[in-house]
Amino acid sequence: MSSKTGILCIVLTAIAFGTMEIALKIAGTAFTPFQLTFLRFLVGGLLLLPLAVRDVRQRGIRLNKGDWMYLAVLGLVNVCFSMILFQIGVNMANAGLAAIVFSSNPVFVMIFSYFIIHEAFTRRKAITLVLSLAGLIIVADPVAIVRSGNFGLCVSAAAAVVFALYTTLGKLRIEKLGGNVENAFSFLIGCAFLLIFLHIHGDPVFGGINSQTIWSLLYCSLVVTGFGYLCFMKAIELTGPSNASFAFFLKPVIALVLSAVILSEPITCGAVIGLLLILIGCTMAGPIERILFSKKVRDGQ
């Protein structure tokens, strides 16, 4: 695969994920956070399952006990923790601001990648870390959170940290398994855990699905979850987790504009300044520049 394919996957990821908060905000009015997360990852997992089965056959992949344990961990981390926290955060907070906060997850990917897969922590990454954290603080406005008692953005930040862990862990066996296998099986395993929780907690599984809610549910499932994760894992495979996470620096721009247009949410000065700091930090890290001009993509360089 060429480096241009990696860039295309990053852009498509940004577009799909850029509509995520708005879609989840709309769908979240009809479903509980656990139910909506279960449904969208169930549909997304089933959508990707034929691709995963094809890859297993074509590549001669043999899944051992360790692989299944690894996929179970991915499912727990992503579906049961990160996405549940994210759905709760979106329900509690402004969708555009939640998008910016969640999009800070590449900052934590850099940290996790250094310790887990030993990616180099360069000077440019350090600059990105400082600027992005500053932007995150401005957007979240801790003083306003304490005064209002609305901790939705804090929950979104926790979701970003956990998603960064998932992104980094996804690199460990992606060369063996591939993005389709990791996505499909981890999604479905995560849904199995959620299904158990739904039954124990007494939450509905398919309740609330009707002619009005089905469209937002399908969009969350097919476009955001299925297509978005497919592009994201392919980007990780081609460019490495830090470079693939560049999509999350493009995503908040899309989400902020769409949330203002569709949900009539205000674009505040703090949100713009914080977003600019994050984008400047991303530019300093220069992942796209490295992909374009390096003869060989080097993860984390």
For the stretch 59-113, pLDDT in tens is 999 999 999 999 999 999 999 999 999 999 988 888 888 888 887 787 788 889 8
Amino acid identity of 13?
T
Question: Above pLDDT 70, what percent of the chain?
Answer: 90
**Gap between the Cα atoms of 88 and 92, Å rounded:** 6
**Gap between the Cα atoms of 132 and 239, Å rounded:** 21
pLDDT score, position 104: 78
* pLDDT greater than 90 at residue 300: no
* pLDDT greater than 60 at residue 40: yes
**Better-predicted residue by pLDDT, 203 or 198:** 198
Q: Give the residue among 31, 32, 7, 54 at the shortest CA–CA distance from 179.
A: 54
Q: Which tokens sit at 91? A: 């329900």
pLDDT score, position 230: 84
Picking from 152-161, 181-190, 212-221, 275-284, which range would have the lowest pLDDT averaged per residue?
A: 275-284
User: What global pTM score does this model have?
Assistant: 0.81
pLDDT score, position 95: 81
Picking from 91-100, 203-212, 250-259, 285-294, which range would have the lowest pLDDT averaged per residue?
A: 285-294
pLDDT score, position 296: 42
Q: What is the mean pLDDT of the chain?
A: 83
**Gap between the Cα atoms of 28 and 87, Å rounded:** 8
Kindly provide the b/e burial profile for residues 3-32, where b requires at least 16 CB atoms within 10 angstroms of the residue's own CB.
Answer: beebbebbbbbbbbbbbbbbbbbbbbebbb
**Gap between the Cα atoms of 271 and 256, Å rounded:** 9
pLDDT band for position 288 (50/70/90)? very low
Picking from 31-35, 75-79, 194-198, which range would have the lowest pLDDT averaged per residue?
A: 31-35
Please give the full DSSP string across 142-153, using - where no structure is assigned.
Answer: HHHHHHH---HH
pLDDT band for position 292 (50/70/90)? very low
**Better-predicted residue by pLDDT, 125 or 180:** 180
pLDDT score, position 2: 57
pLDDT band for position 251 (50/70/90)? confident
pLDDT in tens, 123-176: 777 887 888 788 878 887 777 767 777 788 889 999 999 999 998 998 899 889
pLDDT score, position 287: 45
Q: Where are the beta strands (DSSP E) in the chain?
A: none
pLDDT band for position 186 (50/70/90)? very high
**Better-predicted residue by pLDDT, 194 or 121:** 194
pLDDT band for position 233 (50/70/90)? confident
* pLDDT greater than 60 at residue 285: no
